[in-house]
Amino acid sequence: MKRFFSIATLVLCTLFLGTLSAQSLLTPEQLAKRERKKNLTVKEWNTDSKTKTRWMDRLKVYDDQGRCVEEIEYATYGQKWRITSTYDDITGKVIEEVEYNDRNRPVRIKKYEWNADGTKAKQYNYLPNGKLYSVKVYEYIFSEK
């Protein structure tokens, strides 16, 4: 039990330090871009060349920290799909995405784990009922040329 506690403590310390380094991975350009997107809503419109009918193609909503929290794709008949994103308050990384269908019903839930260096470690894919159906593991291989 004592050994487990010390390993758990080590893991928590490593995650905390990784969190601090992950926040410093943002470049000044990325921070400036995020600053411009605070509380922003972007609407993309399409126009049919023959009938001149106009419809919204896509909608993106950003939160008060400049992170995309909702994205909706539209067709002429209405919503095709919608994705909502939830972020970790400490790291600023996305921790959950919920994908909705054209009837605004959840079809897939993705939850993410991140490495200490800010790269994606795992993606857990869940059905709307909460049942895990797949796990995607990310492997990063750098080669020297």
The CATH number assigned to the domain holding 32 equals 2.40.128
Closest CA to 96 of 124, 117, 72: 124
The pLDDT, as a whole number, for residue 35 is 85
Of 30 and 108, more confident: 108
Structural domain range at position 70: 2-137
In a domain, 142, yes or no: no
pLDDT in tens, 46-93: 998 999 888 899 999 999 999 999 999 998 889 999 999 999 998 889
E strands, 11-143, are 41-47, 54-62, 68-75, 78-87, 94-100, 106-114, 120-126, 132-137
- Residue 144 domain flag: no
Tell me: pLDDT of 6 over 80. no
Q: Which residues pair with 61 in a beta bridge?
A: 41, 70
3-state secondary structure of 139: coil
Cβ–Cβ under 8 Å, residues 56 and 44: yes
145 within some domain: no
Domain count, the chain: 1
pLDDT of residue 19: 40
Cβ 66 vs Cβ 34: under 8 Å: yes
| pLDDT for 8 | 39
Sign, CA dihedral 119-94-18-137, equals: negative
